Amino acid sequence: MSSKPYKIWFNGEFVPWDEASVHVLTHTLHYGLAVFEGIRAYKCGDNRSAVFRLPEHIDRLYASAHIATIKIPYSKEETHDAILDLLTINDLEEAYIRPIAFIGGGKVGLHPGDNPISLAISAYPWGTYLGEGALSKGISAKISSFTRMGVNSFMTKAKVSGNYANSVLAKLEATSLGFDEAILLDTEGYVAEGTGENIFIIRNGVLKTPPLTSVLEGITRDSVIQIARDEGIELETERFTRDELYIADEAFFTGTAAEITPIRDVDKRVIGKGKPGPITKRLQSRFFDIVEGRDPKFTEWLEFFPVVSTLRVKNESL
C-alpha cells in the first residue's frame, strides 16, 4: 500500500487510514458474517475519471445485506455519495473501492443480537490482480480439490465475507503448487467459477459461461454477456465439464479485480494455442474501451467524478 495518507469513510466520517480500526471482539471477525463489494474506477482520458457500474455494485451490496439479514444503517444514496466523495478526497484517478458492512462488538455468541452494524469504505490504487502480464499473456489455473459451496449450505448470491474462506483455501492450494489461480467445481462436478471470478470458455466459436445456479452474479460477467451480444458473438449460458474446459479453444476469467484475464492452461493442459485467443482479445479490447471512456455506446455504465489533482492543474493553468 502506498504511503500516501489516504482516508477511509467509516460510519459517516472520513478518518485517517491507520485509524480505521475495530475491536478484537468484533462479531464479524469471529464468525465471518459481513457483506462487501469490489468496485473499480478508471481514468478516462486526460481530465476525467469514472466508476464502472456503480449503481449495480451498490444494489448488489444491499441485496447481499438483505440475504445476510444485515441492515446497513445508511441509504444507497448515502453510500453512493460517500464513494464519490472518498475518491475525490483521496485524489484518485484510478482506484479499487471496497465497501464492507459488518457486525460490531457486543454480544460474543453466535447470535449477534443487537450488536451495531458498521459500514466502511476504502479506496486505493490497485493494478493487475492476477500478476504482471496476466491480461496480455494469460494465467495458469488448477481445478481445485475444494468444491464451490452448495446453494443451501451458503448463500451463493451474496458476497458474504465468510463464504470466501472456501476461495482462500482453494487459492492457497493452487498457488502452493505453482499455479496462478484455482477453478472450483460445483457440488455436481461441473465447472463453477474461480476463487473470485466468473469463468467463460469459447468452443467452436460459441461463448459459454455457467448459469447462475451456484455462482455469484458477477457484474463484469453481465457486462461481458452484453458486450458479446453487441458484438454478435453466439452465447450460451450452460453447464460444462472440466474436460470440456480442457478442450476449449479459449478461456478467460471475469471480475472487478480480474477484469478480463485469459487462461492459457488448466491442470497443465494448454487451452487452445496457450495464449489469449481472438474472441477473448476482442472482448477484452471492447471492455477496456468502455471502462476508459472510449466507447460511447455504454457510457451509461460510467459515473464520472472530479479528480482534485486534475482540477488543481486546470486552475493553476488559468
Q: Of 276, 294, 311, which residue sits at a domain end?
A: 276
Per-residue pLDDT, 308: 67
Co-location of 31 and 50 in the same domain: yes
Q: Of 93, 124, 155, which residue sits at a domain end?
A: 124
The helix/strand/coil state of 164 is helix
Co-location of 225 and 264 in the same domain: yes
Per-residue pLDDT, 129: 86
Per-residue pLDDT, 242: 97
User: Could you give the C-alpha distances from 132 to 127, 137, 200, 264, in angstroms and in order?
Assistant: 9, 9, 21, 15
The domain total for the chain is: 2
What are the residues facing 101 on neighbouring strands?
Answer: 35, 119
Residue 172 sits at the vertex; the CA angle it makes with 168 and 176, to the nearest 5 degrees, is: 175
pLDDT at 77 over 90: yes
Q: Which of 75-79, 105-109, 182-186, 217-221 has the lowest mean pLDDT?
A: 105-109
In a domain, 293, yes or no: no
Question: Looking at beta carbons, which pairs linking 264-269 to residues 24 or more positions away fall under 8 Å?
Answer: 264/137, 264/138, 264/139, 264/140, 265/140, 265/141, 266/140, 266/141, 266/142, 266/143, 266/183, 266/242, 267/141, 267/142, 267/143, 267/242, 268/140
Cα 89 from Cα 271, distance rounded (Å): 44
pTM attached to this predicted model: 0.93
In a domain, 312, yes or no: no
Co-location of 97 and 181 in the same domain: no
Per-residue pLDDT, 315: 40
- CATH code, domain with 88: 3.30.470.10
Confidence of residue 4 (pLDDT cuts 50, 70, 90): low
Question: pLDDT tens digit string along 198-223?
Answer: 999 999 999 999 999 889 999 999 99
Co-location of 60 and 163 in the same domain: no
In a domain, 264, yes or no: yes
- CATH code, domain with 238: 3.20.10.10
Per-residue pLDDT, 245: 98
In a domain, 80, yes or no: yes
In a domain, 309, yes or no: no
Confidence of residue 317 (pLDDT cuts 50, 70, 90): very low
Domain around 33: 7-124
In a domain, 281, yes or no: no
Co-location of 138 and 248 in the same domain: yes
Q: Which of 7, 43, 159, 208 is catalytic?
A: 159
Co-location of 178 and 69 in the same domain: no
User: Annotated catalytic, 159?
Assistant: yes
pLDDT at 313 over 50: no
Co-location of 109 and 147 in the same domain: no
Question: Of 201, 202, 183, which is closest to residue 193 (Cα–Cα)?
Answer: 183
pLDDT at 176 over 90: yes
Co-location of 253 and 174 in the same domain: yes
Per-residue pLDDT, 107: 84
